[in-house]
Structures are given as structure tokens and as C-alpha cells.
Structure 1
């Protein structure tokens, strides 16, 4: 039986996120997702007057290609996908995973080859040159991560992904303005005392245009301005490996000390290139339906009362000049259940224990966005 929620989600992706126009080419990329969702997207794109192109992938096949690929082969795949990306005006990527640790045994050298010759060059075209949106698909593996039944998680997923993003968009306007006026950000919390500048760097509000689910406002720190320590209290998966208890110490913008449950692998990733030890993104999150981590960054980076701090590549829209093959969103939750914390802009308290206290920003608190 057809699930009408597929049509509702497809409509959000084509009319709100990518705003497909007549005659536009739209690349639909699905990784381990049901055919029914792909068909709903094809029909929605056509309904908007667009021309759909489809690429279907599987994570196990991706793993095998990356695992045994050499520079020439991986580079050719990257060049092929870049050529196609340059021909489209919009990109919709839905990424499922039957096994979230599928890449965990792929050597770091192979993953770095993939990032250097395929992933990063492709993203360097997709992000600035297309209207794009990326989201996860609710496989049972995600339900396990969220510690929910498959049915309950699917209901939660569609609620989160189809909320009223237009209301969120309006509530973000004061935060964007305040961040644009701010020089120093000071964040304190459990084992955390961090200072950095965001002066004169663009601020980008995100309300369902690029990621679903959404709910963040991001910029990047002045590259050499980050000083202090931070202890991330949210688990994270990167290149198939799960990391917990990540602690970073900064001097002059650079990560000079890093530890975690897997310190050796953490530092290997941070040594990918020079830019991997500098920060490329700072974002404040406020999705009212996402309150607990589930080891999926597209959800975890939107947790209400959290922020993320990202070693590696800066986005062109909020560019501090940092360049890297790495872009690793690390999340700290500051709600009371996770230890609390405070965020200051130029010495003024903006958020305490995950709740906005500045009068102009209270519209972003969960009770006002649901």
C-alpha cells in the first residue's frame, strides 16, 4: 500500500528545499533506499516541471570500490560524477545505511584517496553551484541507534522531516543578525572553556534548504582565533569508526592536543592535511524534535540546545579560508541532562543550559517551534 508520507516528503524536497523550476535538471541520488521513495521524487520533480536524473548506489558496493581502488580509478569516478554534477541545477541526496559501520575496516589511506579525488572535488562543485538537499533514510539500523522500534522511528522521522520550516525560517532572522554583529564567542561547560572570533564572516541560517531535518545557523571562526579547550559529550561516527569522549585543545586556531576513546585514529584523521587541525564551521542548533543523539550527524548536529564545531573544510558561503579533505561535525549538547553550559556573544549571555535567554531569540526555543 502506498504511503502518502513519501509524497509529502518529496514535496518538501522539491518545492521548499530545492525549489525546482521548469526545465531544470535534478539529480536524485539514492543510497540503499526504497524504490517507492525514488519514484515519489521523480514524480514530484516532474510535477514541478523539472527533468529528473537518477543514480542509485549501495554502501557495500561503495565500500568495495573504495577499498580496492587506486588513484587513477578513484580519480576517474570523481571526474565522471563532477562532469554530471556540472550539468544539473539541483541535487537531492537520500542516504540510507543497513550498517552504519560499513566503512570501519577500510584503511585510512583508501578513505583519504576517496576524499581527495572523489568526495571533496565533487562537493566543491555541488555545494556552491547547485540547489541541493541531503537527508538520511530511516532504516532499521537508524531505529537501533535511536533505541526505538522501527515503526516508532519512522513516525518520528517523518514528523521531524516535514515540520513547519517556514516558521523556523522567520524565527532565525534575529539570530542571524546578532551573529553578524558579534566579534567574540565564549562557550563554557563541563571541561570546556573556548573563545574565538566570528567577526566579518557570513552567517547562514538553515531551515530545510540544504539538510532535512534542519535547524541550525552556521558561520565559521576566524581561522587563527580559536583558543581553549572543548569536551564533546556526543558520540560521533567518522569514516565508519565510532568516537566518544573527544577532547580538543586549541592554540592560535590549531588543534594542538586531541584525545578520545580511539586517540590514535582521531589524530590520524586530524593529520590528513594541515587544514584538518583548524576549524571550518561553528553552528548553533535548535530543531525542537531532536533532543537525543543517535549517531547520525544529520540528526545529531540539529539537536535542540547543542552546537557543533567542525575540524576541516569551511563552506564557501561562510568561508574563513580553511581548506581540508576533512569536514567533521562534532557536537556538544548544553541542556541540563547533558551537563549544561553557557554561550556568550561579546560578553552577553545568549543561551544557558540549551535555552535561549536573549529576548529576541526566545522564538527558537523548542516550545515555540513545535
Structure 2
């Protein structure tokens, strides 16, 4: 018997997140996902009258392909995948991973080459399709969250099928404020950072692009970032786990970067010229996500968090920075994580993870659950 939560989640992805219409073409990429859910997703797409194109992938096979990839191979993959995504109206990716560190031993220069070469595919998908990306719950994710498999699955389906329409309404005042703000200051233990977001714009994320969701993002003016930020959550990039990442900025550029693996951290930041500049600044507020689990689709939505992102900027909130890297790093500012403050143009916006102005208090956890 198929878990009834599978059909509920598939309906959210098709009817709410991507809003599929009759005759539209959708690429569905499935990474290590059970057939039972894949079937429910195909049925939901067809029930909407849309046309499913299915791609199944496996993380161990992807590792092997990338590990010995060449520029010629990567370019061939790019050309084929770019041709296909240009035929699509929408994109749904469900990404399972039995081992979150599967790519840890892929040489960093090989991963950088492959990622850089395939960047046009990602750019087209982000900017020219309606898309949504989510993880699939696995035992490794439950371990990362320090939960039993059953408890994590219950948590996963609760957060992935919450009332995102209600959240969408609550975040509009924050979107308006970020669209009109200029100077931003972030203060936390080990962090004192200033930058401008003037004229960049802002985007609310309410379950249309990611599931789970719950953030509003903008982007610093490229050369405006100055100061230091000390992240207090672990992060995984290209299969490698990093902790205690500290970035120091001068006129927008990361001039010093340290962490649990400083050498590999700087190798990634040297992927290209844009990797040492920032492409996103966002505030997270999902009331059900409280602690990091080294899965960025969850961690960047943690209640009372922010993330700051070396690398590529999104065109919808663009400072012009271009890079093969887009690395969301998360700082939690709730009291049990050390607290902190966020200021817009001299006004205190959030203190110790809770929004202060009256028009933003609808985003505090007690008002979103």
C-alpha cells in the first residue's frame, strides 16, 4: 500500500509549486527516489493535463561520471541537457541521497570544471522555467537531523505540506522592506558585517521554488560588503563538510576565509573570479525547521536564521555577479545559538531570531504554525 502522504506531496508540487497547466511539458528529475512516489508524481502531472518527461539518476553513478569527467565530456552533457531543458515549461527535482558525502573524494578541480561547464543549464532552468526542488527523506538525513527514521519522515511531510499560501501573505511586508532598504548591518558573536541592497530587489520564497520553504532573499551591491561574518552551522559543498567558516570582506570581496578545512574552502572560493563575491542575502523563518542537518534546502529556512552566499546571483535580485559557485552559508541568531541583530537603515528588524516591527511579526513562529 502506497503511503497516502506521497499523493498529498505530489499534489502540492504539481498544483501549488509549479502550477502545471494542460499541455505544458515538465522535466521530472528523480535522484534515488522510491518508485512508489515517482508513480504518484507522474499521475499528478497527468491529472493536471501536463506532459511528464522523466529522468532517473543515482548519486553513486553521478559521482563516477564526474570523478573522471573531461572538458569534452562535460560540454557534451551540457549541450544535451541544455537542449532538453529549453523544451520544458517547468522542472521538478526530487533529490534523495543515501550518503550526503558521496562526492567528498571527487577532486575539487574536477568538480569545479564540471559545475562551471554545466552552469548554463542551471541558469536556463532557474530563469526560464517554473521550477521546484526538494529532497527525499532518507536514513542518512534522519541521522544528520539526530532523529529516528520514522520521526524524521513525520517531520519531513509536515514541513513539506504546510500551508505555504498563508506564509506567502505573511512575508509580503518583509519583501516590501527589502525592496526599499539600503544599508544592512548584521551583528552576532564574531560577526559585524555591513552592505547595501539598494536597488537590487527582493523575492519571497513561499513553496514555489523550494520545498520546504520560508525565506525572503535579496543580494548585496557587489562591492558594498565590508566586515566579517562567523557562521555557526556546518555546511556541505560538493560532498565535503565544513564547520566554523569565517569570511572577511573588503569592498565586496572575500579577502580571508578560514574553517575546518581552510585549504579546500579556499579552493572552492578560487573556482572563478565571482566565487569570492556574494550573490545572495536571505532571511529564513520556517517555524518547523529549528536546527541544522547539513541539507541546505532545510538549513537555509531555519527559523531565526540568515544565509549569505558566495557566488552566483539570481537574475531576479541581481548584482551582476557570475560564478559556477552558489554556496549558501547559514547563521542562526536565536538566543540558544548566540543571538544577534539585523538592522535596515538604522532600524532594528530582527533581534535574537524574532522580527521586531509590527508589520513583520506575522513571520514569527507562533504566528506561522
User: 1:65 and 2:65 equivalent?
Assistant: yes
1:149-228 correspondence to structure 2 within 5 Å: 149-228=148-227
Deviation of 1:114 after TM superposition, in Å, equals 1.1
> Which residue of structure 2 lines up, in the alignment, with residue 83 of structure 1?
83
In the alignment, the residues of structure 1 paired with residue 210 and residue 12 of structure 2 have an alpha-carbon distance, to the nearest angstrom, of 11
CA displacement at 1:181 relative to structure 2: 1.4
Q: Offset at 1:69?
A: 1.3
Structure 2-normalised TM-score?
0.99
Structure 1 residue runs of 4 or more that deviate by more than 3 Å after TM superposition: none
Distance 1:117 1:320 in 2: 22
Corresponding residue of 1:290: 289
Name the structure 2 match of 1:8: 8
Q: Deviations over 1:24-79 (max 9, x none)?
A: 00111000010111111100001111000100000000001001111111110111
Q: Where do 1:240-259 residues align within 5 Å? A: 240-259=239-258
SS state at 1:87 partner:
coil
Please give the secondary structure, in 2, of the residue aligned with 1:176: helix
Shift of residue 253, structure 1, vs aligned partner: 0.3
Instruction: Indicate the residue corresponding to 2:364 in structure 1.
Output: 365
Cα distance in structure 2, aligned partners of 1:71 and 1:312: 21
Secondary structure of the residue that 2:287 maps to in structure 1?
Answer: coil
Deviations 1:146-185 (A, max 9, x none): 0111011000000000000000000011001111111000
State TM-score, norm by structure 1.
0.99
Task: Please provide the CA RMSD for this pair.
Answer: 0.5
CA separation in 2, counterparts of 1:200 and 1:194? 19
Gaps of at least 5 residues in structure 2 are: none
Number of corresponding residues: 369
Inter-partner Cα distance in structure 2 for 1:117 and 1:174: 38
| Alpha-carbon distance in 1 for matches of 2:271, 2:247 | 16
Note the 1:107-118 alignment, pairs <5 A: 107-118=107-118
CA distance in 2 between partners of 1:26 and 1:273 (Å): 32
State how far apart, in whole Å, the 1-side matches of 2:62 and 2:272 are.
24
Q: Distance in 2 between matches of 1:116 and 1:176?
A: 31
Measured after TM superposition, the shift of residue 107 of structure 1 is 0.2
Partner residue, 1:307: 306
Q: Which runs of 5+ in 1 are unaligned?
A: none
Deviation at 1:2, TM superposition (A): 1.2
For 1:6, what is the secondary structure of its paired residue?
Answer: helix
SS at match of 2:313: coil
- Whether 2:75 is the aligned partner of 1:44: answer no
Superposed counterparts of 1:255-294, under 5 Å: 255-294=254-293
Partner of 2:141: 142
Q: Does 2:54 correspond to 1:54?
A: yes
